[in-house]
Amino acid sequence: MQSITYGDVSFKSMIQIIKKYIQSDQSRKYEIAIGTDSQNFDITKVVVVVAIWRVGNGGIFFYDIKRVNKISNLRQKIFYETSLSIELAQRLSEKFNEEDFKCDISIHVDVGDDGLTSKMIPEIVGWVKSCGFTCNVKPYSYAASSIANKYSK
């Protein structure tokens, strides 16, 4: 994973940084969000983001960039993005549970009521919820539609 604050970090280091960040001010509320976005070039550039928002006071985030064979089908692309977010959320959740660290993780999906992805919302939200996570869609899916979008270009 990469971070504009911490540089290149391993998954294990990212976990420790997140815990330390949250423990540094336990009087605050925190939200952990995972989101993915992608852009097509001659390949598909996919960016997965873990964002930790200290509500009312900024936050930190980590991202990973993957380059995969071009995914032209929008439905397939949204499902691929969502699967990467769920997979990372499950890994984070497992690690936090192993270390007895309690926090909720939400999945941010780059779909919204306006546009071609609107018909996919019930299916995607249902999938994410069935995996045990809350799901945010546009305009509330900042980890996917803002942060990941920026780094996918």
pLDDT single digits (tens) 56-85: 999 999 999 999 999 999 999 999 999 999
pLDDT in tens, 118-152: 999 999 999 999 999 999 999 999 999 999 999 99
Range of the domain at 148: 2-152
pLDDT in tens, 1-35: 999 999 999 999 999 999 999 999 999 999 999 99
**Which residues, at least 6 apart from 58, have a Cβ–Cβ distance to it below 8 Å?**
none
Q: Largest alpha-carbon pair distance within the chain? A: 47
> Under a CB-based contact definition with an 8 Å cutoff, are residues 153 and 147 in contact?
no
Single pTM value for the model: 0.95
Evaluate whether 112 touches 91 at the Cβ level (below 8 Å). Answer: no
Angstrom distance (rounded) from CA 28 to CA 23: 10
- Give the burial class of 29: count Cβ atoms within 10 A of its Cβ; 0-12 exposed, 13-18 middle, 19 or more buried: exposed
From the CB of residue 30, how many other CB atoms can be counted at a distance below 10 Å? 17
pLDDT tier for residue 54 given thresholds of 50, 70 and 90: very high
> Can you give the pLDDT at residue 59?
97
Give residue 74's pLDDT.
Answer: 96
| Tally of domains in the chain | 1
Q: Rounded distance, CA 61 to CA 38, Å?
A: 17
CATH of the domain at 147: 3.30.420
3-state SS, residue 12: helix
